[in-house]
Structure 1
Amino acid sequence: MKHRGRHRRRRRGRALRAALTGAALALTGAATLISASQATVADDPGALKPLTSAAETDALRLTEHRVPRPWLDRLSAAMGEPVGVDTVLGSADHTLREAADCTAGEREALPVSPAATRAYCWDHDTEGWRPGAVTTSSGADEDGRWGAHRVVLSAWSRDDGTPDGGLARVSFVDADDPDRLGYTSALLAVPVDGGHDYRGLASPVSGMVWYQDKLLVTTGSGGREALYVYDVDRVQRATTDAGTVGRVPGGWAADGHPYVLPAVASYRLSDASGAARPGAISLDPGTSPASLVASERVPADSDRPTRLWRYAFSTDPARTGLPAADSAGHVDAVEAYETGAAEVRGVLSYRPAGAARTDWYLGRAAGGQDGRGTLWHQDSEGARTSECGADRSQQCWSGQVGSLSYWAQTGEIWSQSDRMLFALPLTSVEDALG
């Protein structure tokens, strides 16, 4: 039986590689046929420009607001003891399909170059939901696992026809077996009324980072709250599958989801003029201490540059997974830049071993036109990107640019585009960028 299992995995692996290779070739051919006027590579954003003045960095400051511990304890007492990630993964009720079993239309969302080496499409439960940010258990512990499990987290917002979207949820994906990725979802919520109730997080999740025992998410809402924090040890069970949210007669509802995750903290935007709202975020484990990297989203038709910056994580054992804050609760950027890149939807920073500089990677949307996005490498010296098409003028990153998450233990970048979850080695990105 063990030999037959290995043969089945080999056949599936060959089918997956064939599907991904075929998709890349088909998309490359399609990119060659698109006229340069429709999908020309975006203008070179140039080198990163450091921001050092107080006026520039004050606009990046956040202020911390912790949910009172009695609120959280009151909610747990009413809903029952929180469950762990192991319990959530063990109740997976949906399975991602491998690329070989996805439709050609679904695979069109994958990058042309560099090509994904692993790709999956979601089950039917994502209908009516828009994909958001992705993160992994890479930063949860030194071995890249949460307990015994390798985990991918994928954010979604309900597609209710409004720009801000409706409710938000996170799908917990068990990535232990690359041939079978099972998942289930928890609704993101915010405690209210002293912990006697909770409301849904009514905003798309544009960025997400899992660090130690905390999940940090950025939202697209227009309010002052820019960043919410969740404790992965505080997942609560919903007691009814009602399509409402919060306390209901006889129990607790999470819009039909089996679990709800209540926020434990939030971070508000600075009062400074031109305050920057974090859009895409990622974890940089290569700094000391580890840091939270952020970018803002600036439209393609704007006349101002995009800001990139980082916050240091706290080293205080009582503040695991939280950004470093001063006695007033202020979180200040420890590094900041300007870039000429617009429509940034994914950001990543990484310093290769022995290197003197940090590499920044920016996933950029198509700039208001239909087509594919671009993946740029930037540093203090300049910028470069991967190009496709016969005249190398075509955009060739994923169809709908998503967040970027680096899994340091495997050397892979994970991202999500439309209904496809995919991964590829960072080394292949470097090779494609030349």
Structure 2
Amino acid sequence: MTHRGRHRRRRRGRALRATLTGAALALTAAATMISASQAKVTDGPGGLKPLTASADTGRLGLTEHRVPKGWLGRLADSMGSPVGVGAVLDSADRTLRSSADCSDAERESLPIAPAATRAYCWDAADTDGWSPGAVTTSADADDDGRWGADEVVLSAWSREDAATGGRVARVSFVDAAEDGGRLRYASALLVLPVDGGRDYRPLASPVSGMVWYQDKLLVTAGTGDGNALYVYDLHRIQRTTSADATVGRVPGGWSAHGHRYVLPAVASYEADGLPGAGRPAVLSLDRSTSPDSLVAGESVPVDDDRPTRLWRYALSTDPGRTGLPAVDSAGRAEVREAYETRARGVRGVLAHRAAGEDRSEWYLGGALGTTDDGRGTLWRTDTKGSRATECGADRSHRCWSGRAGSLSYAPGTGEVWSQAGHTLFAVPLKSVTGALG
């Protein structure tokens, strides 16, 4: 894997280890108070139920489909040589505001307990009309926490768009080295090659799950695109030549809904079309397994009676398959382990095995009872039981943000990154443990 080796001129630092002052992250009284009418959640999801029958685990497998190299080559020949993450960061011209510059309404989307130690708010003009999705970081990409010399956060967004007649999705590349408490970013549209690589179309799906592993970006695909996962190669970012609002080939060049960059998919993983087939809605990376594994889960509606399934795939150790799930001779990624949980409304999943422990603990964000006040629940669960973070005099479990999405863990700094509304934030994993009831 070729990383970006040179250091940038502006002031660097171990930004992912930085901790903002308590004053900078102080919420307004309205944001921190828990209403007396807010009921305590007492009916937890209980422990995880292992799924071992082949009839259950077999439904969760995915079949790999690679985009032909000829398609990708034809696209690159037409658009010019691909660029990497470094080129996108060098062109970053949008700014995330520090917590001190966020509005009260934006800070209200942050969790109450555990409290965020880093928080930033997106450029309102740039994100107007866009819905936030999943988050992943360079700590997922490489175990040193960096991509070359850079520390990076990737954030997914999507929107309905009249110009394309459907939905479009993009990923924002955030330079996580603070510059006066602000972070800079630029975005690339997610696209799928079509017509033999002579054109591309937008990924017509929200991105509720996303993992950056080695040189690949794996994203969930739901409504609008039938495959369960799409894969993007971060060495294959292409520049556009037109600021046109359409997506694809245009007279004299290429456009991407006004974006300067596109990421064309290089592979997809398709779920079986049978009833009960697994379709990941949330994703994360677990480096505490051997080999590293891709953690996946469903997002069953809160008012649905069926259980939520959680599972994992092994990631390949083959040097010729960097960043991809391991597959068998038939090109099928089978699950390594799977569980059921009574938690519903899951919007983020994380699995991690602490040093010296014999089993993984699973963290489920947004589960059991997202309410009208915008609060959700963060559970830690395993096969023996579950516990939730607590806050307030009534020890309520509604301490997490109900709008928070995916969970991404950075082992080097001990931080868990997530996104709620238009606010990007990080909390220490040890603070999650400290807030558990």
Q: Fold-level match, TM-score > 0.5?
A: yes
Measure how far apart 1:113 and its partner are.
0.5
Q: Aligned partners of 1:34, 1:235: CA distance in 2, in Å?
A: 50
Where does residue 111 of structure 1 map in the other structure? 111
The answer on whether the counterparts of 2:377 and 2:402 sit within 8 Å (CA) in structure 1 is no
The answer on whether the counterparts of 2:120 and 2:423 sit within 8 Å (CA) in structure 1 is yes
Measure how far apart 1:394 and its partner are.
4.8
Residue among 268, 271, 280 paired with 2:270: 268
Measure how far apart 1:252 and its partner are.
0.1
Where does residue 225 of structure 1 map in the other structure? 227
Where does residue 363 of structure 1 map in the other structure? 365
Q: Aligned partners of 1:388, 1:77: CA distance in 2, in Å?
A: 56
Where does residue 82 of structure 1 map in the other structure? 82
Aligned counterparts, 1:31-50, within 5 A: 31-36=34-39, 40-41=40-41, 43-50=43-50
The answer on whether the counterparts of 2:201 and 2:248 sit within 8 Å (CA) in structure 1 is yes
Residues 214 and 221 of structure 1: is their aligned pair in 2 closer, same or farther, counting only changes over 3 Å? same
Where does residue 60 of structure 1 map in the other structure? 60
Residues 296 and 197 of structure 1: is their aligned pair in 2 closer, same or farther, counting only changes over 3 Å? same
Spell out, residue by residue over 1:222-281, the C-alpha distance to the aligned partner (whole angstroms, 9 max, x if none).
653010000000000010100000000000000000100000000100244310110110
Q: Does 1:415 align with 2:426?
A: no
Partner SS state of residue 144, structure 2:
coil
The answer on whether the counterparts of 1:347 and 1:404 sit within 8 Å (CA) in structure 2 is yes
Moved more, 64-73 or 386-395: 386-395
Aligned counterparts, 1:376-415, within 5 A: 376-415=379-418
Q: Aligned partners of 2:170, 2:142: CA distance in 1, in Å?
A: 23
The answer on whether the counterparts of 2:343 and 2:368 sit within 8 Å (CA) in structure 1 is no
Q: Does 1:133 align with 2:134?
A: yes
Where does residue 28 of structure 1 map in the other structure? 32
Partner SS state of residue 400, structure 2:
coil
The answer on whether the counterparts of 2:370 and 2:377 sit within 8 Å (CA) in structure 1 is no
Measure how far apart 1:41 and its partner are.
2.5
Q: Aligned partners of 1:165, 1:390: CA distance in 2, in Å?
A: 46
Residues 208 and 326 of structure 1: is their aligned pair in 2 closer, same or farther, counting only changes over 3 Å? same
Q: Aligned partners of 1:55, 1:394: CA distance in 2, in Å?
A: 35
Residues 137 and 42 of structure 1: is their aligned pair in 2 closer, same or farther, counting only changes over 3 Å? farther
Measure how far apart 1:424 and its partner are.
1.1
Letter in 2 for 1:416: Q
Spell out, residue by residue over 1:334-370, the C-alpha distance to the aligned partner (whole angstroms, 9 max, x if none).
0100000001100000000011111100002564641
Where does residue 428 of structure 1 map in the other structure? 431
Return the structure number with greater helix share. Answer: 1
Where does residue 328 of structure 1 map in the other structure? 330
Aligned counterparts, 1:153-168, within 5 A: 153-159=154-160, 166-168=167-169
Where does residue 375 of structure 1 map in the other structure? 378
Aligned counterparts, 1:71-220, within 5 A: 71-123=71-123, 124-159=125-160, 166-177=167-178, 179-220=181-222
The answer on whether the counterparts of 2:203 and 2:225 sit within 8 Å (CA) in structure 1 is no
Measure how far apart 1:42 and its partner are.
6.7
Residues 180 and 28 of structure 1: is their aligned pair in 2 closer, same or farther, counting only changes over 3 Å? closer
Q: Aligned partners of 2:43, 2:137: CA distance in 1, in Å?
A: 31
Partner SS state of residue 74, structure 1:
helix
RMSD: 2.0
The answer on whether the counterparts of 1:186 and 1:257 sit within 8 Å (CA) in structure 2 is yes
Measure how far apart 1:165 and its partner are.
6.9
Residue among 304, 307, 313 paired with 1:305: 307
Letter in 1 for 2:296: A
Q: Does 1:316 align with 2:311?
A: no
Unpaired runs of 5+ residues, structure 1, are: none
Residue among 229, 251, 254 paired with 2:253: 251
Q: Aligned partners of 1:368, 1:18: CA distance in 2, in Å?
A: 28
User: How many residues get paired?
Assistant: 417
Q: Aligned partners of 1:90, 1:426: CA distance in 2, in Å?
A: 31
Partner SS state of residue 258, structure 2:
coil
Residue among 348, 351, 354 paired with 1:352: 354
Moved more, 136-145 or 206-215: 136-145
Moved more, 151-160 or 74-83: 151-160
The answer on whether the counterparts of 2:49 and 2:341 sit within 8 Å (CA) in structure 1 is yes
Q: Aligned partners of 1:135, 1:359: CA distance in 2, in Å?
A: 19
Measure how far apart 1:173 and its partner are.
0.2
The answer on whether the counterparts of 1:99 and 1:121 sit within 8 Å (CA) in structure 2 is yes
Partner SS state of residue 57, structure 1:
helix
The answer on whether the counterparts of 1:110 and 1:399 sit within 8 Å (CA) in structure 2 is no
Letter in 2 for 1:45: P
Q: Aligned partners of 2:357, 2:203: CA distance in 1, in Å?
A: 40
The answer on whether the counterparts of 2:389 and 2:397 sit within 8 Å (CA) in structure 1 is no
The answer on whether the counterparts of 1:41 and 1:387 sit within 8 Å (CA) in structure 2 is no
Moved more, 117-126 or 267-276: 267-276
Unpaired runs of 5+ residues, structure 2, are: 1-10
TM-score, normalised with respect to structure 1: 0.92
The answer on whether the counterparts of 1:32 and 1:390 sit within 8 Å (CA) in structure 2 is no
Where does residue 8 of structure 2 map in the other structure? none
Q: Aligned partners of 1:100, 1:148: CA distance in 2, in Å?
A: 28
